[in-house]
Amino acid sequence: MPIRIDKDLPAKKILEKENVFVMDFERALSQDIRPLEIVILNLMPTKQDTELHLLRSLSNTPLQINITFLQTETYRPKHTSKSHMEKFYQFFSEIKHQKFDGMIITGAPLEQIPFEEVKYWDELTEIMEWTKTNVTSTLHICWGAQAGLYYHYGIEKIFLDKKLSGVYKHHTLHGKPCLVRGFDDVFYVPHSRYTASDMDAIRNCKELTVLAESDEAGPYLIKNESGSQIFVTGHPEYDVMTLDYEYKRDIAKGLNIEVPQNYYIDDDPEKGPIKSWRCHANMMYTNWLNYYVYQVTPYEL
């Protein structure tokens, strides 16, 4: 949240140059406050784990948030009970007439399948088109980011030589954008995927800006000019044990998989993981909610 100070206080200009969000009394008096309406399209197979991860990340702000969980109608989940989905989730047809302050489109274990062959691709493209008029800012995560970059900007995905799995060092490229306010020069993010969006195509797209990247994992935070579409190629919301679960699951399937990089103590799965990304993860979600949703969304949806 911003600090409220007199607009003529000398410290105001210094704080603004340091990317500290300050608000003068006049602007503060004109602000109306209401709960934010956030819809989450949960495409992950382990729905309840993803719910917990995202809600933890979204809770680190004093803003009040109403959450609506969304599921696809063209594909029903196999790993979550029907009773859970019926009780806590809605279909797009039930909410398409509404407007939302923000939306999150999660990842999905589908990166090795061509987009058009995904069973719910037509429904997903309808939802992504709908966000242009009915959502103030949409946050796309991992495969959701690849799908969004492909649909909105025609950016293809490319296959990696091996699975990118681990916690990787990142750095910011621009200090001013609000999404990276408060970030250190170096920070860490979990990644878990077999594909990546075409880096050159992203950089050559005039409508997109890369805000942070990794020498190993590539572009990480990408936004369009207005911030109405933001793409996060990693999994900052992951719980400390999520990569461990995925690694052991893949081993049990007999896959030739490497130990997640920079994740376990001494790279030894028996010693357990090191949590090194949560502070910046929480800050990213807080920045998104504050600067790209709360500060710009209309009071009357």
Catalytic residues: 142, 235, 237
User: What are 199-204's contacts with CB under 8 Å, separation 24+?
Assistant: 201/153, 201/154, 201/155, 201/156, 202/149, 202/155
First to last CA, the chain: 22
What is the rounded CA–CA span in Å between residue 166 and residue 234?
Answer: 10
Residue with structure tokens 């890369």?
A: 210
What is the rounded CA–CA span in Å between residue 168 and residue 219?
Answer: 12
Beta bridge mates, 138: 103, 229
Q: Are 283 and 188 in contact (CB under 8 A)?
A: no
Helices (H), 45-167: 47-58, 82-88, 92-95, 121-134, 143-153
Helices (H), 135-275: 143-153, 199-204, 242-252
Side chain identity at 91, as an amino acid letter?
Answer: F
What is the rounded CA–CA span in Å between residue 242 and residue 49?
Answer: 9
Q: Are 239 and 49 in contact (CB under 8 A)?
A: yes
Sorted by sequence, the CB contacts under 8 Å of residue 166 that are 6+ apart come out as 190, 191, 243, 260, 261, 262, 263
Residue 27 structure tokens:
């602007």
Closest by Cα among 43, 5, 3, 51 to 24: 5
